Structure 1
Amino acid sequence: MSSRKRPRDSTDAPCTRTRKMKRVVSSSAEKSRDKRLFRSNDHATDALAYVRRLREQEELCDVKMVVGGRDFNAHKVVLVSTVPYLRAMFASGMKESRQSAIELKEVDACAFQLILDYAYTGEVEVTTENVQELLSAANFLQMGSLRDACCDFLEVQLEPSNCLGIRAFADVHGCGELARRTDKFVCQRLAEIVKTDEFLSLEWKEARQLLSRDDIQVRSEEIVFEAACHWLQRDLPSRQQYIEDVLHTIRLPLLKRSYIKDTVLQTDLIKDSEHLRYLIKGVLIAINSPENPLTKHRAAPETIFIVGGRNSRRCLNTTEKYDTQNDQWTAMPPMKQIRTAVGLASLDGVLYAIGGECETPNSQDGTLYLDSCERFSPLENKWETIPSMPHQRSFVGVVAHDGYVYAIGGEDKMTSFNYVERYDPDKCEWESLPDMRLNRSGAGVAVLDSKIYVVGGHDQQLHHSSVEVYNPADNTWSFAADMTLARSGVGVCVIDNILYAFGGRNRIQAIYYDVVERFDLAANRWERLPVMTTARAWPAVSVLRGKAYVCGGYDGRLRLNTVEVFDPCTSDWKQVGSMMEYRAGASAAVA
């Protein structure tokens, strides 16, 4: 055997022995050029796409999921990285982690197919047909983001005919935010809900719980009485035993005497029962007792309030409320302070009127810019003064979000502002926040995706088409896509997570707009919609039951009292009852 050594193969050589390459860049080069980080924007997408192809071809699959009698081949690494429940299973050393086939008995097979596709693509189409099974599966598999997406989808689907079922479904699956929002919907729309099969099919315990609530919003107690009668009559043989209990849910002292005499006591369920007639009379005798819970009023239905503004003669402190049932506006207690160019927001059922301006003989231009603020409780039916904000200004953007009232931008005689402040009702104090990037007066302000969007406005020289976004989570400002049209005096609102902008003006060109745009959050772009029936700058805009109400404003010649309503489902406009006052620079909110 030859003793000659075998030449070292290149694969045997350690890295430290590798022949050095001649440097083509001098080591004396600037330190900032010594190295560069390369990052591929397509790396994650390409890798996931390749793994998806492996699954489609059933290559390198190392686990079989058995769900509803169906087999699903997959890659453990994908399941572990996307499905928390399976991550815990595989990482905990459970016996399933060593099995090549794992059965999930608690999950629907069709829902698991969607979840598996989501794990490999990051996308899933939620529909009315699959949302319940998909949410249930996502909840069991601890996929919080997917579960929340299903909850958001269900919230958009809320109608009087299905809301009780959605609320029960949310309770069963521990979807607290969906349950809270659905519960609010139930309270607001009870008058319609009591006519549906879902309500009439409720068990007695559920019906009693609903009809006994203080926070259901009804125009009169007659609605509750008639709902209870309809529920009883749906299955009278089995429900007759609950008649007396039903009467205890009705706040009889709140019914008109004539209604009790002509309707309640003449109802077939009651008129032939001496005991029930005696019971009703006994309740009415106790009407003046301060301890009688049946004399407590229910919550009033949410509706639109509009405050302040200016007509052709003067600035206003008047307040109006819209009666949706009769399509008319009624006067409410006036604000303590006259205010036009005022901001208004609703927080926890209370209205907050912020800043504005009014006429005064004590200033050079005859205008007093306000830092004063006040709030109105519809239940107490009165205004009260609250602490003033740090800066006097009018045309301030006001919005309520997450327990605070925000005041953004505005102007005085000399300049527009980029100031941002917020009011804490619990502490009764204001605090300053980071300024906007641009000075803005007459901008529209609304909350979208838990962030505050400030739209358009002007800085005394230029009108803005730009949009700034404040993120309360990290206290920062950024820009979103510009509107198609620069303008101030624009009204904005959000419906079903879509931002809308209505009207406005260009002061330099003396143009008043009927233009309507909406913002696509996912695409980060604006698009035009059918125009309003009337051009309006400084309209008051509010959302009631999924529709935008655009109230008053100025068309370049006249201050308006007309109101038009936009339906986002059809993109149609229609006029409703006009306000009592002609108003521009007013503000509206729902409470």
Structure 2
Amino acid sequence: TGKLELKEDNVERTLSTANMLRLDAVVESGCCFLKQQLHPSNCLGIRSFADIQSCRGLYEEAHKYTMEHFTEVIRNQEFLMLPLPQVCELFGSDEVNVTSEINMFEAVLLWVKHDVGERKKLMAELLTRVRLTHMPKEYVADVVQSNPFIRDNLDCEHQVIEALIHHLLPERRPCPVRPRKSTTGHLFAIGGMDTSKVEGAVSIEQYDARIDQWSQVANMTGRRLQFGVAVLDDKLFVVGGRDGLKTLNSVECFNTRTKTWSVMPPVATHRHGLGVAVLNGPMYAVGGHDGWSYLNTVERWDPQARAWNYVAPMSVARSTVGVAVLHDKLYAVGGRDGSSCLRSVECFDPHTNKWTNCAPMSKRRGGVGVGVCGAHLYAIGGHDAPASNQMSKLSETVERYDPKTDQWSTVAPMSVPRDAVGICMVGGRLYACGGYDGQSYLATCEAYDPQLNEWRNIASLNTGRAGTVVVHVRHLH
């Protein structure tokens, strides 16, 4: 008839035969048919079949589906029948979509219980694929340690004890195991200056590290440039900035769950080019420019009184300042003071209400991006020129500060210079997003791995933007 009817009971035989006979059109049709049949109960079987038949596209689609629907897949017979090597491969993957590492431990128990006699002696090998150090310590102590499969296995007991030591003595941690991408939360890139120049980027984009993708999730209520953002209770607090004409003192709160905005009490001083960070609960608004002069003043939000109060001022005025928190201290890095860009760095101790000078950076940096990763502070990109000089020198260089030695050292540079770059740490990596390279507003983003001392490109933003603020929100569920 010249026609071929594909059905569930004939598609695999038809496809494998067509594969031997090199009937590519039939193979393609069979793969399309199977892609449409993907379900948590059959995706592992289709993935395995595609692997045997060397149908790359089908394999990738089935693998992606398995990762996406992992918590449903593990409740089906196909998963329970998997051999050990394939189970280890799944449990070791960084791409599985789980809300918590607890899901992985539950999956291990499901697989073992299906054939306890044979499988419980494999428990230690399976447990090495579960990232115990990224579970809540109470769960490890109360649930994992008391499980009979764990208690009866000395190797498992050792792994649990190691995980508890990791939680109790963080300073003794060796090279840390990274969390799975789906459990690290999300990055948000908020606003900034884009090519429109008139409007500015009012969109908010969200990054999912597991699928390496940015998506637009909301808009700001209006134009706001050179503002600061802090995250409290998974809500974004947007502070100050300027609307193009005037400098603002208004504060707005974005609820990441309901995607709604609310108005908060304003800061006492109008300020743009400020830095905002959360230190031991309260958030701080640091420095900036009020439209007339550069500021050294610092305000702290009191959530009980729902008001902003001044704390000790910095030793110098700083606008376009980089602000971050490390070891219970607030750091103000670089910026501009009106006559030039600054190398100087100072840190604030909330217990003494004092600022202390730290070692200066090797480069002057205005519009600097600052992030904390591990026990170090990073100063990233920025520009070095007086405010009056339009030919400012932009930087791709990165410096790292060690508070133990009070010293800066240079680490691997970014792939391009970035002024007014958005910086945030998530999952043990520093992300540098957007910025200005002297010609254009950048959409490109890159991530720094401190263990390898190297940057690699990740998915680009949907909108090129400089001065975007990038923050980490842990829970969206």
Maintained 8 Å contact 1:534/1:555: yes
| Aligned residue in 2 for 1:373 | 251
The answer to whether the aligner puts 1:578 opposite 2:463 as a matched pair is no
Which secondary structure does the structure 1 equivalent of 2:206 belong to? strand
Which secondary structure does the structure 1 equivalent of 2:110 belong to? helix
The answer to whether the aligner puts 1:562 opposite 2:447 as a matched pair is no
The answer to whether the aligner puts 1:304 opposite 2:187 as a matched pair is yes
Cα distance per residue 1:303-352 (max 9 Å; x no partner): 10011101021313210100112211111121223211111121232211
Aligned amino acid, residue 402 of structure 2: D
Alpha-carbon distance between aligned partners in 1 of 2:70 and 2:350, rounded to the nearest angstrom: 37
Alpha-carbon distance between aligned partners in 2 of 1:564 and 1:430, rounded to the nearest angstrom: 35
Matches within 5 A, 1:44-59: none
Shift in Å at residue 380 of structure 1?
2.1
The answer to whether the aligner puts 1:528 opposite 2:410 as a matched pair is yes
Which secondary structure does the structure 1 equivalent of 2:111 belong to? helix
Maintained 8 Å contact 2:184/2:427: no
Q: Which structure is richer in relative contact order (CA contacts within 8 A, separation 6 or more)?
A: 2
| Aligned residue in 1 for 2:231 | 346
Shift in Å at residue 452 of structure 1?
0.6
Alpha-carbon distance between aligned partners in 2 of 1:221 and 1:475, rounded to the nearest angstrom: 39
Cα distance per residue 1:390-414 (max 9 Å; x no partner): 1111110110111111000001332
Shift in Å at residue 381 of structure 1?
2.3
Alpha-carbon distance between aligned partners in 2 of 1:301 and 1:547, rounded to the nearest angstrom: 11
Alpha-carbon distance between aligned partners in 2 of 1:192 and 1:420, rounded to the nearest angstrom: 47
Matches within 5 A, 1:413-562: 413-508=291-386, 510-562=392-444
Aligned amino acid, residue 411 of structure 1: H
Higher CA-based Rg: 1
Shift in Å at residue 530 of structure 1?
1.4
| Aligned residue in 2 for 1:404 | 282
Q: Mind listing any 5+ residue stretches in structure 2 that lack a counterpart?
A: 1-68, 74-95, 118-181
Q: Do the aligned partners of residues 233 and 375 (structure 1) sit closer, same or farther apart at CA in structure 2, a change above 3 Å counting?
A: same
Which secondary structure does the structure 1 equivalent of 2:294 belong to? coil
Which secondary structure does the structure 2 equivalent of 1:234 belong to? helix
Matches within 5 A, 1:349-364: 349-359=234-244
Cα distance per residue 1:530-587 (max 9 Å; x no partner): 1110101110100010100000011111111110111011110100000011111110
Alpha-carbon distance between aligned partners in 2 of 1:437 and 1:232, rounded to the nearest angstrom: 60
Which secondary structure does the structure 2 equivalent of 1:233 belong to? helix
Shift in Å at residue 385 of structure 1?
1.4
Cα distance per residue 1:52-85 (max 9 Å; x no partner): xxxxxxxxxxxxxxxxxxxxxxxxxxxxxxxxxx
Q: Mind listing any 5+ residue stretches in structure 1 that lack a counterpart?
A: 1-190, 196-217, 240-298, 360-366
Percent identity, please: 32
Maintained 8 Å contact 2:226/2:272: yes
Shift in Å at residue 519 of structure 1?
0.6
Shift in Å at residue 488 of structure 1?
0.6
Cα distance per residue 1:191-219 (max 9 Å; x no partner): 999x9xxxxxxxxxxxxxxxxxxxxxx95
Matches within 5 A, 1:97-496: 228-236=106-114, 302-313=185-196, 314-359=199-244, 367-496=245-374
Alpha-carbon distance between aligned partners in 1 of 2:437 and 2:100, rounded to the nearest angstrom: 43
Q: Do the aligned partners of residues 368 and 329 (structure 1) sit closer, same or farther apart at CA in structure 2, a change above 3 Å counting?
A: same
Q: Do the aligned partners of residues 510 and 380 (structure 1) sit closer, same or farther apart at CA in structure 2, a change above 3 Å counting?
A: same
Shift in Å at residue 358 of structure 1?
1.6
Alpha-carbon distance between aligned partners in 2 of 1:556 and 1:380, rounded to the nearest angstrom: 38
Which secondary structure does the structure 2 equivalent of 1:231 belong to? helix
| Aligned residue in 1 for 2:91 | none
Maintained 8 Å contact 1:415/1:459: no
Q: Do the aligned partners of residues 220 and 527 (structure 1) sit closer, same or farther apart at CA in structure 2, a change above 3 Å counting?
A: closer
TM-score normalised by L of structure 1? 0.50
Maintained 8 Å contact 1:315/1:358: no
Q: Do the aligned partners of residues 227 and 389 (structure 1) sit closer, same or farther apart at CA in structure 2, a change above 3 Å counting?
A: same
Maintained 8 Å contact 2:340/2:385: no
Cα distance per residue 1:218-243 (max 9 Å; x no partner): 9578998886454222133569xxxx
Alpha-carbon distance between aligned partners in 1 of 2:319 and 2:342, rounded to the nearest angstrom: 10
Q: Do the aligned partners of residues 439 and 224 (structure 1) sit closer, same or farther apart at CA in structure 2, a change above 3 Å counting?
A: closer
